[in-house]
A and B are shown apart, each in its own frame.
Chain A
């Protein structure tokens, strides 16, 4: 029997504007999670991710990017994961590895890009917690997601 992949967990398409989308009560059934984000925004918005509502300095990341200035790499940390800038044509895929494990910090692999903002990014992020991830907050600051913004969460079984 093939191992199921991309099993649908939850999805939302906004009917009106909102600045934060929360996935709660994520079961520990799977090995990895995949979050696909297709936002609708009016102006550039900076996406951010938190797990389990943790807002302390528990997040760090490194990314390689390509934009109009060329290619480069950045490492940083904060009280959230930088989910990258979003404009009209953003697409983001976030793979959350071993999300339900209780013996390791959590790794997120990002593939994001936006032709309006004219960049592409590959990123690895870390949530410095051994707690299983049971909720995901995806939000923007100083901006909102417009109606028809879609976020879909999938599980991948081992």
Chain B
């Protein structure tokens, strides 16, 4: 796993964006810790190559009181901490994109949690699809509404498959 880029907001911003992602890796792994300036919906938004279209996903959710599952065709991608939740808490997300530079539709997965000093907090496991064959060259993380607050951060890693010269596979 090789670090590509780390970003941390010095002030509120509309998004955290990774551009010109090198096409030299096999998979991408993005970890992000985010909070938005507005209250309400805890869904973060994803964009690939500047596009919010052609997304779909199914999630498994725990809310502190119930488990549920749902599906959607919006570009929801993980969780963002809302401004009404406990101060100084940020939602934690890890996004995995295999074969991001390939010529097939891009599946992705997210593990996400919010934090809150109360009984309501969310955990999501998401299976997603970006139904485009273009290689992913940029990723943007956005809040559902408002801005991402200061200290929101994201780290992008590249994972390169290969051989150790010892293990065989067939």
A residues adjacent to B (C-beta < 8 A): 5-12, 21-27, 36, 38, 40, 64-68, 70-71, 89-91, 93, 111-115, 118-122, 148, 150-155
- CB distance B160 to A8 under 8 Å? yes
B164-A27 in contact (CB<8A)? yes
Q: Check B26–A11 contact: CB distance below 8 A.
A: yes
Query: Smallest distance from the beta carbon of B117 to chain A beta carbons, Å?
Result: 25
The answer, among B57, B70, B104, B161, for a CB contact under 8 Å with A152, is B161
How long is the Cα–Cα vector from A26 to B71 in the complex, in angstroms? 38
Nearest residue, chain B, Cβ from A111? B109
How many of B's residues come within 8 Å of A, CB to CB? 40
Please give the residue numbers on chain B whose beta carbons come within 8 Å of chain A beta carbons, in ascending order. 1, 26-27, 29, 56-61, 67-71, 96, 98-99, 104-105, 107-109, 111, 125-129, 159-164, 166-170
Task: State whether B68 touches A115 (Cβ < 8 A).
Answer: no
Q: Which of A25, A64, A152 contacts B166 (CB 8 A)?
A: A25
Contacting residues, chain A, for B167 (C-beta < 8 A): 9-10, 23-27, 153
What residues on A are CB-neighbors of B126 within 8 Å?
A: 113, 120
A65 touches B108 (CB 8 A): no
Say whether chain A's binding surface is mostly helix, strand, loop, or mixed: strand
Q: How far is the CB of A27 from chain B (nearest CB, A)?
A: 5
How distant is the Cα of A113 from the Cα of B58 in the complex, in angstroms? 8
Chain A: which residue is nearest B160 at the CB level?
A: A8
**Cross-chain pairs A/B with CB under 8 angstroms, 21 sampled:** A8-B161, A8-B162, A10-B164, A10-B167, A12-B170, A21-B169, A25-B168, A26-B167, A27-B166, A64-B67, A64-B125, A66-B61, A66-B125, A89-B129, A91-B96, A93-B109, A111-B96, A115-B58, A118-B58, A118-B71, A152-B26
Contact of B68 among A21, A66, A89 (CB under 8 A): A66
Q: Specify which chain A residues have a CB less than 8 angstroms from the CB of B108 in the assembled complex.
A: 91
Q: Contacts A21-B169, A23-B167: A38 and B69 contacting too (C-beta < 8 A)?
A: no
CB distance from A49 to the nearest CB of B (A): 14
Among residues of A, the one whose C-beta sits closest to the C-beta of B69 is: A66
Which residues in A have their C-beta under 8 angstroms from that of B27?
36, 152
A115 interface neighbour in B98, B128, B161, B170, Cβ under 8 Å: B128
Give, as a whole number of angstroms, the nearest-CB distance from B32 to chain A.
17
Known: A70-B69, A115-B107, A148-B104. A24 touches B60 (CB 8 A): no
| Also in contact, A9 and B163, with CB within 8 A (given A67-B69, A120-B69) | yes
| B170 lies within 8 A of A21 (CB) | yes
List residues of chain B with CB within 8 A of the CB of A25.
166-168
- Contact indicator B26/A5 (Cβ below 8 Å): no
Select which of B58, B127, B160, B169 is within 8 A of A23 by beta carbon: B169
> What are the residues of chain A within 8 A of B168 when measuring CB–CB?
10, 23-25
Contact of B59 among A12, A91, A120, A151 (CB under 8 A): A120
